[in-house]
Structure 1
Amino acid sequence: MATTTATIDLPRSADAVWELIGGFGSLPDWLPYIPGSELSEGGRVRRLTTEDGGTVVERLQSFDHAARSYSYAIEQAPFPVTGYRSTLTVHDVPAAPGTCRVEWSGTFTPAGISDRDAEDLFHGIYTDGLAALARTLQG
């Protein structure tokens, strides 16, 4: 099993950032390469549309509003992995009032590629996504 994590510190309160990213259907609000998200099954499944017209289907595994965290699994996607599970969390940074840390992590089993290639793929997705979040908050 492979794993990767990306983080970013943002000059905003954790509650304010969670308000933007904490909804399971909110990716289009801050992630430009996901222009569409359609929820089903009472909000537990999201069908994402990618900027190139592709589809990714993900299922919510856990949601904790108080901890500002949710985890999800990929059910359908063009990625060379199986058993994908990811968690998105927003933490306060106690040493820096008014700052939060967003952490995006994932575990998965590569399928037809090396652990390193799979880790690089998702680390790039997470890092690009968190940079997009920072740009959205600046806008």
Structure 2
Amino acid sequence: MASITVTLDMPHSAGRIWQLIGGFDSLPDWLPYITDSRLSGGGRLRTLTNADGGVIVERLEAFDEATRTYRYSIAQAPFPVTGYLSTLRVIDLGPEGARVEWSGTFTPDGTSDSEATALFEGIYRDGLAALAGTLDA
């Protein structure tokens, strides 16, 4: 099993960040390579469409408003992994702002640990950079 965690400190309140990213259906609001998100399964499944027309289906596994955290798994995606579980969390740093932490665990399938880890590290880093750009706009 492989894992990766990427964090980014931002000069915005945890509440403001969570308001933008805390909705399970909110990825198109801050992640430019996700152009559409549709909820089903009572709000526990999101079907994402990327800019190339690719489809990813993710399942909400846990949601905690108090700790500004949600965890999700991948039900369908073109990624070379199995057993994917990811957590998105906003941590209040007080007057300095907040830290956003995006982490995942998975088992590479048909690729090496380092290649799979590099894939998700890139997705998380690019995603957090896009989030910062959205908040700073």
Superposed, 1:57-96 pairs within 5 Å as 57-94=57-94
Superposed, 1:109-128 pairs within 5 Å as 109-128=107-126
Deviation of 1:41 after TM superposition, in Å, equals 1.0
**Residue type of the alignment partner of 2:123:** I
Among the aligned pairs, what percent are the same residue?
65
SS of equivalent residue, structure 1 residue 35: strand
**Residue type of the alignment partner of 2:128:** L
Q: Deviations for 1:83-138, whole angstroms, at most 9, x for unmatched residues? A: 000000000114xx141000000000000111011000000000000000000011
Deviation of 1:39 after TM superposition, in Å, equals 0.2
Superposed, 1:1-139 pairs within 5 Å as 1-94=1-94, 97-139=95-137
State the distance in 1 between where 2:109 and 2:10 align: 34
Gaps of 5+ in 1: none
Q: Deviations for 1:47-99, whole angstroms, at most 9, x for unmatched residues? A: 000010000000000000000000000000000000000000000114xx141
**Residue type of the alignment partner of 2:55:** T
The count of aligned residue pairs is 137
State the distance in 1 between where 2:7 and 2:86 align: 13
TM-score norm. by structure 1 comes to 0.97
State the distance in 1 between where 2:77 and 2:62 align: 20
TM-score norm. by structure 2 comes to 0.98
